[in-house]
Amino acid sequence: MKNKFIFVFLISFVLSALTACSDIEYPPAPVFPLSTSEGVSFHEDDPSRDKAIPDKYTAKKFDLTVKPFLFERETTFSSGELTLSVDFNSSQHYRIEIITDNAPVSGVAVISLSSGGETFGAFYVSSSENQDENPDIQPEYFMYPIYFPEGRAELTFTFLRGSVTVERIVITEDSPIPSVRFTEPVQRQNHGAPSSEAGMVFAYLRSQFGDKVISAQHCTAGTNAEIEAVFAASGREPAVRFSDLPWNPDNPDDFDLLEREIELAEGWWSSGGIVGFAWTPEYYDSDEDFIEKADFAAGALERLLMADVPVLFNPLPDGGSRLHRYGETEEEYVRLWNLLYDRLVNYHGLNNLIWIWSGGSYTYFPGSHRVDIIGESVFSQGEIGSQAVRLAYSGDYNNDGVSKTAAVIAASGLPSPDFFGRDKSMWLMWTLYKGDFVIDSSGRVRDEMKEPLERFYNHELVVSRDELPDFV
């Protein structure tokens, strides 16, 4: 039978043919004055914020003994919802399979799976050449590993898009994500000889993958409002400060904002934290304009290079969502990624960048040689719980055998850290997004976030800023 998998379908090629960059002659990048300060320390008035803090919460232990299990149900499910009652014989992980009778009517059908208010993911059902050549084949689609406690559970399958007839649903026992996902050798790609600081940070990140989840907070540009809220709720600070790198040299306000971001980044690094930036150019009218905006960002990144500050760099995020101009097509996205990469690495010589790709679709993947970390966004509240399915498939964006660490670089909420251990869904990093996901209009932490923040940051499986090694 032809096996297909949710989220990411394995394919036999990488978009390496799209790596050529333009030969256009571009003007030099703008030069920003070098900072005359040693960086801003945010904790001079409260030195206790620099001391290591004992963790309050230990990881909950789960009995994950694998016991044989088989549930089969014949159906004629083709639209709407289907809810099944399943008596699970053990608290363990399970594999859920749907078998369809034909190709979707509309080309693609999407069927979500949820239970007890938690959405685990979706089956993406599509036609294939193999099926066209062999119409009698019944395609199989799998979702795994999903944890259920012993006892009865209601599983709901919901059509989100398209139509296809599901003839059979099969549930069997499974195991958590295999440990090899975290132990395969991972090296930073050859973006030029890395700065010593970038090398140290990347080596540290790799050493934590599979053991601990590094906390990160995306901040409103020009502020640390969300970090202050995190500290107010938990008594701790994120290990990584993310923000948005201003991108428009035609906007005078962006010059002031960029200067402020450089100051905040230098201060965060000197205070023992790790710096991260997303870069999201919202519009440009030509390659020259795109490069001009890239050079505007490069001026700030060069300042940080001169100050020995490494940067987790997440350019062109969420391209596969097609919400941004740079993601209108996969070909254009990959071309622009390579154009940007060539400009920053080969033209500007920025070797302090650790490249995070979060294109969201394997067709948007530019190739392992230009990516250090796979990034995911989790904005469906139902997906905040078990992360096993998302992490299991994050390794399938690239099929060239090059292992990558995987991180959540934008999320609308915080999962229970106990799920990280239970499902072996040990993301490299979990980044809570900015604004009203954390704070209210007055800048105070939202009431409903106080308990999740306190538990998340004081859990033994989560790394906060006070637990980072001394990079400086």
Q: Rounded to 5 degrees, what angle do the CA atoms 387, 393, 397 make?
A: 135
- pTM for this one? 0.80
Peptide bond into 145 cis (omega under 30): yes
Domains, in order of start, for the chain: 3-57+179-467 (3.20.20.80), 70-174 (2.60.120.260)
With a CB cutoff of 8 Å and minimum separation 6, the contacts of 439 are: 225, 226, 229, 445, 446
Cα–Cα distance, 77 to 138 (Å, whole number): 15
**Cβ contacts of 10 within 8 Å, gap of 6 or more:** 396, 399
CB under 8 Å to 442, separation ≥6 — which residues? none
List all residues 6 or more positions away from 435 whose beta carbon is below 8 Å from its beta carbon: 220, 226
Other beta carbons less than 10 A from residue 257's beta carbon: 18
User: Could you list the pLDDT tens digit for every one of the 472 residues in the chain?
Assistant: 334 333 332 222 223 333 333 333 434 444 433 333 333 445 555 666 666 788 888 888 887 788 999 999 999 999 999 999 999 999 988 999 999 887 676 678 889 898 988 778 788 887 654 444 555 556 778 887 788 999 999 999 999 988 889 999 999 998 776 665 566 656 666 666 778 999 999 999 999 998 999 999 999 999 999 999 999 999 999 999 999 999 888 888 899 999 999 999 999 999 999 999 999 998 899 999 999 999 999 999 999 999 999 999 999 998 887 788 898 899 999 999 999 999 999 999 999 999 999 988 888 999 888 999 999 888 754 444 456 666 766 666 666 667 788 899 999 889 889 888 888 788 999 999 999 999 999 999 999 999 999 999 999 999 999 999 998 7
Could you tell me how far CA 73 lies from the centroid of its own chain?
35
Can you read off the two tokens belonging to residue 256? 């002031």
Phi first, then psi: give them for residue 427, nearest 5 degrees: -60, 150
Our measurement of the distance from residue 366's CA atom to the centroid of its chain's CA atoms, rounded to an integer in Å, reads: 16
**DSSP, residue by residue, 344-411:** IIIIS---SEEEEE--SSGGG---GGG-SEEEEEE--GGGGS--HHHHHHHTTS--SS---EEEEEEE
Half-sphere exposure of 445 (CA within 13 A, CB side): 19
Residue-wise over 83-108: b if at least 16 C-beta within 10 A, else e?
Answer: ebebebebbbbbbbbbbbeebbeeee
R_g of the chain, CA atoms, integer Å: 23
